[in-house]
């Protein structure tokens, strides 16, 4: 047994699976055509390169807490950041929502993508002052909920539209 396989054997099934994804994720962003994408336009977790701004971590923590503070709370947290960080934070937030749109477009049939683009991009541009929950609901509505009677549909939807709050068996987000 190799050292690596012995190490894997000592891990829990969940740890083995997630460790593998971490490795693949890291490799994907360190090589290939994406390796040159090192700009302030992609959130730090995506770039996996030199730090963008000192406040990226603060921004991510803020995003994590926004769901608990509602619209006014989240805006106050944004305003508390330094002005430069405020703009960077909003761009990162927009980037995350842009990823929602892109993943939605991958899911829907090719023939429908044109109309999704028109609606989705237009809507995305108006999301600046909206809370995360509103944006998630809107994007779920534009993309259409995953059409399946499977009990797992709410989880699939959350993976695509609200990943960090995905929980087993949680109800689907309410479209606005």
Q: Which residues contact another protein (rule: CB under 8 A)?
A: 8, 12-14, 16-18, 20-22, 24-25, 28-29, 33-34, 37-43, 45-46, 53, 84, 87-88, 90-91, 94-96, 98-103, 105-107, 110, 113, 117, 120-121, 124-125, 128, 146, 148, 150-153, 155-156, 158-160, 162-164, 166-169
Smallest separation (angstroms) from another protein to the CB of 116: 10
Q: Do the Cβ atoms of 140 and 161 come closer than 8 Å?
A: yes
Smallest separation (angstroms) from another protein to the CB of 40: 5
Q: How far apart are CA 102 and CA 75, in angstroms?
A: 26
Smallest separation (angstroms) from another protein to the CB of 69: 20
Smallest separation (angstroms) from another protein to the CB of 33: 7
Q: How far apart are CA 103 and CA 173, in angstroms?
A: 16
Nearer to another protein, 16 or 69 (CB): 16
62, 87, 31, 77: which is closest to 164 by C-alpha? Answer: 62
Backbone angles phi, psi at 167, to 5 degrees: -135, 145
Nearer to another protein, 2 or 110 (CB): 110
Backbone angles phi, psi at 146, to 5 degrees: -60, 125
| Neighbouring C-alpha atoms within 13 Å toward the C-beta of 131 | 17
């Amino acid at each position: 047994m190799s050292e690596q396989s012995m190490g894997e054997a000592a891990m829990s099934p969940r740890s083995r699976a997630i460790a593998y994804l971490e490795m693949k994720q890291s490799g994907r962003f360190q090589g290939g055509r994406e390796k040159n994408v090192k700009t302030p336009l992609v959130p730090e977790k995506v770039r996996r390169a030199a730090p963008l701004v000192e406040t990226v971590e603060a921004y991510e923590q803020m995003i994590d807490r926004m769901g608990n503070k509602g619209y006014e709370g989240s805006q106050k947290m944004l305003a508390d950041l330094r002005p430069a960080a405020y703009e960077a934070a909003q761009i990162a937030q927009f980037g995350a929502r842009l990823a929602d749109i892109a993943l939605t477009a991958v899911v829907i049939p090719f023939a429908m993508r044109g109309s999704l683009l028109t609606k989705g991009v237009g809507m995305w541009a108006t999301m600046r002052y909206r809370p995360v929950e509103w944006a998630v609901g809107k994007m779920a509505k534009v993309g259409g909920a995953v059409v399946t009677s499977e009990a797992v549909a709410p989880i699939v939807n959350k993976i695509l539209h609200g990943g960090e709050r995905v929980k087993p068996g949680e109800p689907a987000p309410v479209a606005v």
